[in-house]
Amino acid sequence: MRAVVQRVDGAGVVVGGEVVGEIEGEGLCVLVGVTHEDTPAKAAQLARKLWSLRVLNDEKSCSDTGAPLLVVSQFTLYGDARKGRRPTWNAAAPGEVAEPLVDEVVRCLRELGAHVETGRFGASMRVTLTNDGPFTVLLEM
């Protein structure tokens, strides 16, 4: 699993003109990509890392402050554009594999006590955010 984690001061997802997920104030916007070898155990590991990652102000984590997370699936994180002018998506898991694993990350985060908002899997989404810092890290499980 691969995640792009951004410290934000608010973020939201709109699908077809409807807000489907939104967080206000300090939190994390997390774009999650799934590859073929990923498992529920990796999803749980990612959730624990996101919950405890000390990247908020004053080196705090979401678990320290109760800050919310916006989790959005993004298969393009496994795009490969090293050759030619068009990326390939061979490393991205198909939807029937990826969707349950993204859902598992969200489930595990909620089980840990997190307030989690989400996008809509497979939809054309408009993600807006205010990157605080800017601060962005890449996680790989």
The pLDDT tens digits of the residues spanning 76-94 come to: 999 999 999 999 999 999 9
130 tagged catalytic: no
Residues 6 or more apart in contact with residue 34 via CB below 8 angstroms: 1, 73, 75, 78, 92, 93, 97, 98, 101, 102
Question: Taken in order 114, 23, 47, 107, is the CA torsion positive or negative?
Answer: positive
Alpha-carbon Rg for the chain in angstroms: 15
Contacts 24+ apart (CB under 8 A), 63-67: 63/112, 63/113, 63/114, 65/26, 66/113, 66/115, 67/25, 67/26, 67/27, 67/28
65 tagged catalytic: no
Catalytic residue among 76, 88, 128, 130: 76
pLDDT at 34: 98
The pLDDT tens digits of the residues spanning 29-49 come to: 999 999 999 999 999 999 999
Catalytic residue among 6, 35, 74, 118: 74
pLDDT at 43: 98
pLDDT bucket at 127, cuts 50 / 70 / 90: very high
88 tagged catalytic: no
pTM: 0.95
- What's the whole-number mean pLDDT along residues 117-122? 95
pLDDT at 6: 98
- What's the whole-number mean pLDDT along residues 3-29? 98
Catalytic residue among 6, 35, 75, 118: 75
